[in-house]
Structure 1
Amino acid sequence: METARYCYSCDLKEDSDLIKEYKEYHAPGKIWPEITQSIKDAGIVDMQIYLTGNRMFMIIEADKTFDPDKKAEMDANNPKVQEWEQLMWKYQQSLPWAKDGEKWVEMENVFRL
């Protein structure tokens, strides 16, 4: 199966207790099943989030059906996803250069071997 890679970044609030809680929500088996299903339904076959300090980096591997705009629309119309996003906003903060309302900012690939 051919996949495409998308990379995004977002910051967590600089609070060690909040960062610990955020990591607990993302521990294996802790993410709400409706959230993982919505990810899979969008054509995402793998998603990983890495953290250094309070800066996060998300890697998405998606099949040919994935469309970021369609995923955003699906999420906007899914009450459980909206509930999750509202909860996660307790821990997250926008990058200084993010557009209004933008959490995860797509990253530019500047090198590939």
Structure 2
Amino acid sequence: MPIRRFCLTLDLVNDQKLISEYEAMHRQVWPEIIQSIKNSGIANMEIYRFEQRLMMIMEVVDSFSFEKKNEADHHDEKVQEWERLMWKYQQAVPGAKPGEKWVLMNKVFEL
């Protein structure tokens, strides 16, 4: 099955205690969140951090759609609970739309 890759970015609140908590939460992501990610067609997901900037790399199957993922998340109470909790740690990057969290990055080079 073909794989597509997306890269997204987000900032964390610039507070070392909160950053440590965020990383701890991601060492034990709720099983319902993992299942939601897999069910949406995301085959692999990695998050990297430098200071307070995060970068997420998603590898998705050909049938994956951000719109379908957002719609499913909107109707999933556990995902909504997780997302509300994550806003404690996260803040939008400059240029994000109001309420927008992870922002899709544009590829500028490939070897």
**Per the shorter chain, which TM-score range?**
over 0.9
The runs of 4+ residues in structure 1 deviating greater than 6 Å are none
Q: Which deviations, in whole Å up to 9, do the C-alpha atoms of 1:6-62 show, x marking residues without a partner?
A: 1100000000000000000011xx100000000000000100000000000000000
Contiguous gaps of at least 5 residues in structure 2: none
Distance 2:46 2:67 in 1: 20
Q: Aligned AA for 1:23?
A: E
Number of residue equivalences: 111
Per the alignment, residue 13 of structure 1 pairs with 13
Amino acid of the residue matched to residue 33 of structure 1? P
- Which residue of 81, 84, 92 corresponds with 2:82? 84
Structure 1 counterpart SS, 2:62: coil
The alignment's C-alpha RMSD in Å is 0.5
Could you say which residue in structure 1 is the equivalent of 2:34? 36
- The TM-score normalised by the length of structure 2 is 0.98
Deviations 1:47-106 (A, max 9, x none): 000000000000000001200111011111100000000000000001110001100000
Q: SS state of the match for residue 26, structure 1?
A: helix
Partner amino acid for 1:69?
E
> Normalised by the size of structure 1, how large is the TM-score?
0.97
